Structure 1
Amino acid sequence: MTTRERILHAVLRVIGTDGVAGVTNRRVAREAEVSLGSITYHFASQHELLREAMLLFVAEETARLSGVAERHLDQPVTLAEAAALVERIALHTRFGHEEIAPLELYLQAGRDPGLRDAAAECFAAYDRIALTVLSGLGVPTPERLAGPVVALVTGLQLRRLATGTAGASIADAVTMVVRGAG
């Protein structure tokens, strides 16, 4: 892992622990085990540091989810099977500090227009994965449903994080949305 990546992962851990307000160059340097100068060498501003941390997370998460989709959806599957796969992936996602951090960053993007493009890139990546899965299922006009499916899964994951319980079945919810659109 490069110094830059260590710094970005440290930013995600700090945000996941203490929120965006906890991100200081000193704290990140200590967490990443790098010199304070490394932070300013690699990142010109706090905006850049936060933006790049968000983009690193989504790049890694997109690669992980795309790999899962490719492994499991390389042959025809039913809607029920695909929905069950989405639920398994969601329920096996642990909520460590680095997984909580993007949710904090999305909220921060609501306050800070400088982060909105990065947040939009993150959701676009999730939309692309949803579009791939929906297209593979033969859903008519999958582009209409990709965003709502991502919003549904994200909302249910946020609820799971906030309450500590799984709550509503993700598989049932995804199935209802896709069937209702057909």
Structure 2
Amino acid sequence: MSTREAILRATLRVVGEHGVAGLTNRRIVARAGISLGSLTYHFPSQTTLLREAMLLFADEEARRLAELARQHDAAGLTVEQAAEVVADVLGRLPASVEEIAALELYLQAGRDASLRDAARRCFAAYEELAEAVLRALGVPRPRQLAGPVVALLAGLQLRGLATGEAHTTSTAEALTMLVRGGQEHSRDAGDTPGRTRRVHR
């Protein structure tokens, strides 16, 4: 592992354990096992350090999830089966300090505009993957649905991390309802922009 990578991983650990406000050079160098001079040489500003740490986390998550999507892409999954796969993947994720660090960094991006480009790239990676999975499932308008799917999963993960409890509606059930709702909307609208069709029951 390079010194630069060690610094970024140490940063994620410190942010996850102490929050952005608790990110100090002393804690970073102690965690990374490097000198203060090495830290300031590679990252002269904390903003640069936070942005690069955010991108490291996002890139690794995108690669991991893309591999999972590739493994299931040829399986011919139904929406319900795909939702179960997603729920199983999320259920195996530990409430690690790295995950908490990512949430801390997203919140910090709300305060620091210089981090927002990195945050947008993070969410764009998740949404690109969600769109690819939805398209493979044959879900209508996957691009429009990708954002809500990512928001749903992120919200459920945040709730679980914050409360330590599972929601009464499972991740698989929530995802299935969201996707099925998008399909029903598409059928009702006749898949034609601007066209509204009355449905008699």
TM-score range, shorter chain: over 0.9
Q: State the Cα distance separating 1:71 from its structure 2 match.
A: 1.1
Cα deviations by residue, 1:31-65 (Å, 9 ceiling, x for unpaired): 11111111111112100000000000010111111
* Cα shift at 1:115: 0.8
**2: CA distance, partners of 1:141 / 1:105:** 30
Where does residue 60 of structure 2 map in the other structure?
60
CA drift at 1:20: 0.2
| Counterpart amino acid of residue 31 in structure 2 | E
Alignment coverage as a number of residue pairs: 182
If asked which structure has higher relative contact order (CA below 8 Å, sep 6+), I would say 1
Q: Which one-letter code corresponds to 2:140 in the other structure?
A: P
List structure 1 segments (4+ residues) > 6 angstroms apart after TM superposition.
Answer: none
Aligned residue number for residue 196 of structure 2 = none
Instruction: Give the distance between the partners of 1:170 and 1:162, measured in 2 at CA.
Output: 16
Match of 1:169 in 2: 170
Structure 1 distance, partners of 2:35, 2:96, is: 25
The equivalent residue for 2:135 is: 135
Aligned 1:85-164 pairs, distance under 5 A: 85-164=85-164
Superimposed CA distance per residue, residues 148-175 of structure 1 (whole angstroms, 9 cap, x where no aligned partner)? 0000000000000011012130111111
Root-mean-square deviation over aligned CA pairs: 0.8
CA contact (8 A) 1:12 1:97 kept: yes
* Separation in structure 1 between the aligned mates of residue 105 and residue 50 of structure 2, nearest angstrom: 8
TM-score (norm 2): 0.88
Question: How many angstroms apart in 2 are the aligned matches of 1:135 and 1:39?
Answer: 43
Q: Which residue of 2 aligns with 1:84?
A: 84
Alignment identity in percent?
59
2:103 aligned partner, one-letter code? L
Give the C-alpha shift of residue 81 in structure 1.
Answer: 0.7
Partner of residue 182, structure 2: 181
> Which segments of 5 or more consecutive residues in structure 1 lack a partner in the other structure?
none
Larger radius of gyration: 2
